[in-house]
Amino acid sequence: MKKYDVVIIGAGPSGIIVGITGKKQNPQKSFLMITEKEKGLVPCGIPYLFHDLDDVKKNQMGPKGFVDAGGELLIDRAEKLDAAEKIIQTAGGESVQYDKLVFATGSVPTVPTFIEGYDLDNVVYIKKDFDYIAEVMQKTKSAQDIVVIGGGFIGVEVAEQLAKFSTKNVNLVEMEQHCLSRAFSPSATIKSDELIRQSGVKLHCNQKVNQILGEKGKVKAVQLSDGSQLKADVVIAAIGYRPNTKLAQNSGLEINSNGAIQCDNYLRTNQKDIFAVGDCSSTSGFITGRTDNIMLASTATAEARILGYNLFNIKLIRNFPNTISVFSTEINQVAFASAGAIEQVAADAQIDYVVGKFSDKDRHPATIADSSDLCVKLVVSPGDGKIIGGEMYGGKSVGELINVLALAIQKQVTVYEMVGFQIGTHPLLTTAPTKYVLIKAAEQAMAAIARQ
Ligand SMILES: Cc1cc2nc3c(=O)[nH]c(=O)nc-3n(C[C@H](O)[C@H](O)[C@H](O)COP(=O)(O)OP(=O)(O)OC[C@H]3O[C@@H](n4cnc5c(N)ncnc54)[C@H](O)[C@@H]3O)c2cc1C
């Protein structure tokens, strides 16, 4: 039986980054990655396959970087773990021994078994699977009436892409009052809903899909909670993801209330020499430390880098083990992003907060040709002035400005420090130095604290 120093199960973003980082740090150690399929997809690019990219090969991703770094691949499914003997068995009949084992088995879409008709033909999911998505693309190409269930990021992004085909009738059903309501406050979601509608998607908020109706085994409509029906050649269920942890569970690893593998600050499970990283591993809220279920590629790869350094011994102390969720998306050419505790998250956790808001153009003067509105809101703890969250929308600059804010949250920057933030500005690239949006919003929050 072949033995490896490190065996990684899964070749998604977290498996690949653990593999590359770990192998570069430990070139003398042997690494094996077991992956069900060699061809993968950039998960975050999947929605854009439905129109803009239009060819599944344009969104391909795989473990080449890991192999280039000296790792070995086994295309197979890891099926059984003997933790006492440190042996992994695969569906193809291989057995390999490990010194360290990494679960990077990711997440799978939630199947709405509670909705009658979920198993009809042409009810599909946004799986992170090359061949499956290629098939879904074929189905959506020939479909005229499409219903997307779920107005989270993935549902919204997919619906917006499909609505770019003027011949298609795209309906999006969301049970909350607004789409994207887990990531943004109502002031942003009212705007994003309007943009979703303007993109051609017919939006049905405050509505549940009660039943999926079919004819000869194939979907033909969905029935909503208000009794109305929407015609459907294809139904795309985008109602969330759950950690893929069956193998871990069967192997006796501790699983938390969200179905994720429970880990400590260094991604170590309750079993010696077994780690878990990415969507399959536990996350905790950054203020409360309570169990959370954040599943993002950015978070997964951040964890994976830490684990890559610490596989054999803890070399990189993790000062900030909890998870700051940083979301971003673009709807009808307007970027939306949030980081950390937005207002409703703070309120739900009974955290005192004030907000500081500021809007301006993202270029200066505002007459510069490609300037866009830029609206920023900071969520701040009034007791000490620490920035605990924020959200923003506007032009493409939002995609990176939110990362500045995420670093400020992680470093526990206060609004008093933000006012002294030394910035670089340029007419063609940023807001004006006289009213840099993060600084102005911090001043507004300071004023709100002073008023208390
Ligand atoms: C449509 C979509 C859009 C997204 N957009 C964004 C975005 O814009 N920004 C962002 O930060 N995040 C985004 N995400 C989330 C992001 O994709 C996930 O957080 C990320 O994929 C997690 O990576 P992972 O490596 O932990 O898991 P996964 O990507 O799920 O990879 C797990 C891998 O393990 C393999 N595997 C599982 N079990 C076994 C087994 N027993 N044997 C062998 N192999 C196995 C699977 O086949 C899979 O390849 C998006 C997700 C989706 C679906």
393-439 pLDDT per residue, tens: 999 999 999 999 999 999 999 999 999 999 999 999 999 999 999 99
Segment 305-324 mean pLDDT: 94
Kindly indicate the confidence band of residue 38, based on its pLDDT and cuts at 50, 70 and 90.
Answer: confident
Q: What is the pLDDT of residue 321?
A: 84
Pocket of ligand 1 (CB under 6 A): 9-15, 34-37, 40, 43-44, 46-47, 77-78, 104-107, 126, 128, 154, 244, 247, 278-279, 295-298, 300
Sheet holding 334-340, edge to edge: 326-331, 334-340, 387-394, 373-380, 354-361
Best of 89, 241, 295, 338 for a ligand 1 pocket test (most atoms within 8 Å of beta carbon): 295
At position 309, the amino acid (one-letter code) is: Y
Nearest to 427 by CA among 380, 389, 370, 376: 370
Work out which ligand 1 atom sits closest to the CA atom of 43: 17
Alpha carbon distance 437, 444 (integer Å): 10
Find the helix or strand (DSSP H, E) in which 203 lies.
Answer: strand 202-204
- Tally Cβ neighbours within 10 Å of residue 36: 16
Strands 234-237 and 78-82 come out as: unpaired
Ligand 1 centroid – CA 43 distance (Å): 6
Work out which ligand 1 atom sits closest to the CA atom of 40: 49
Q: Are 267 and 306 in contact (CB under 8 A)?
A: yes
Q: What is the pLDDT of residue 214?
A: 98
Q: Are 122 and 235 in contact (CB under 8 A)?
A: yes
Work out which ligand 1 atom sits closest to the CA atom of 296: 19
| Per-position b or e across 356-369, b if 16+ CB within 10 A of its CB | bbbbbbbbbeeeee
Report the nearest-CA residue for atom 16 of ligand 1.
Answer: 297
Ligand 1 centroid – CA 125 distance (Å): 14
331-352 pLDDT per residue, tens: 999 999 999 999 999 999 999 9
- Tally Cβ neighbours within 10 Å of residue 332: 15
Alpha carbon distance 283, 75 (integer Å): 29
Ligand 1 centroid – CA 41 distance (Å): 9
